[in-house]
Structure 1
């Protein structure tokens, strides 16, 4: 059984086979097959995106790291999340970011979103399914700012009933107007002066903190 109350400290110190099996991940960022996993058989992932046979590898700005994602809006949005993590939380290292996978074994239904290239896991070994409260307060401020900035288009696994704090997903179907609107907004930032979001964003600005807190309260 997946342990929803498992902290990172307790996870690292766990010695029982059941605890480890419930939280192990493979290099694709999805769960290793165990008694706590199942095979995702649908042609669409949980968030309504089509499962892909292949995906495009994109470079995460400033990090030199690559991640495979669905082309178009999903890639635009999730690359923005990854680059803000890199610039504002911690530098990404080799193997830190996982996206699209062909592995259909999932511990939680939301992990099926990797199959469609519409989700990423940042350091899934450090932040596995079931572990929570692993981010420092300043890191959590940045995550909350990202979620508010993207207007609910991206959901964070740390907010799920069974958490996975490494997990970020497109929360809406591909045809939803907010998906396209947020992607256009990000592209405008990328093409405009100041390259908004690429290390230029101050998540601790009082006005941004206010917006972030309001958004969190509204969506919790």
Structure 2
């Protein structure tokens, strides 16, 4: 078992032990469904750009997800840099990815919510979409949510999580800003520097370190989630 695997085990054990000490039920995901309204039925996306402002692609490149042995189709450049970072950290810190766990670019224009159009531009990924479907909230364990919040804070608003949407989709992560936004470029540049520097980036951080927890909680307050 490597250090990150031990960390996952200890985080889970600590959460359960803490709940037991307080006489609370074991900490497990409590998924609740938010029923889709009639105006959220499937429709056809007809624009030339996805909801986040990126150009819709007829095809997208295949990008390896470091450490997992798997890959995903995404737009190139900054979009791939941001979303691959999310996938890597999920793999290292939440659970090892298996075949077909991550989906990206698709060509079907059928969407149920506008954010699903971002798959058409290769600027969104779904991690285990069958486990975390549209309209269901509370599918993550508390320690998994800590990691997700740390990732979002680290990306400083350049990536949004579907768990924060009015109609949630906890499998969904998307580039939240347009292709020319300076934050997209700046955060992607930071991630590339980390990726090329030993000891930095995905696989090297501890989302449970007190300073990082404080930063993540401050980011939640600023972003209103």
Which interval holds the TM-score relative to the shorter structure?
0.7 to 0.9
Aligned to 2:221, which of 201, 209, 217?
217
The match for 1:26 is none
Cα displacement string for residues 62-111 of structure 1 (whole angstroms, at most 9, x for unaligned residues): 00111000000000110000000000000000110000000111111000
* Cα distance, 1:193 vs structure 2: 2.1
Q: Please tell me whether the aligned partners of residues 8 and 126 of structure 1 are also in contact (alpha carbons under 8 angstroms).
A: no
Question: Structure 2 unaligned runs (5+)?
Answer: 1-29
Question: TM-score when scaled to structure 2?
Answer: 0.82
Q: Is residue 60 of structure 1 aligned with residue 60 of structure 2?
A: no
Q: Is residue 73 of structure 1 aligned with residue 73 of structure 2?
A: no
Q: Please tell me whether the aligned partners of residues 131 and 163 of structure 1 are also in contact (alpha carbons under 8 angstroms).
A: yes
Q: Is residue 152 of structure 1 aligned with residue 157 of structure 2?
A: yes
The match for 1:135 is 140
Compute the RMSD of aligned alpha carbons: 1.5
The match for 1:208 is 212
* Cα distance, 1:198 vs structure 2: 2.5
Aligned to 2:160, what secondary structure does the other structure show?
Answer: strand
Runs of 4+ in 1 over 2 A off after TM superposition: 7-11
C-alpha distance 181-10 of structure 1, shift in aligned 2 (>3 A): closer
Question: Structure 1 unaligned runs (5+)?
Answer: 1-6, 12-18, 23-34
C-alpha distance 41-80 of structure 1, shift in aligned 2 (>3 A): same
In structure 2, C-alpha distance between the alignment counterparts of 1:111 and 1:41, rounded to whole Å: 13
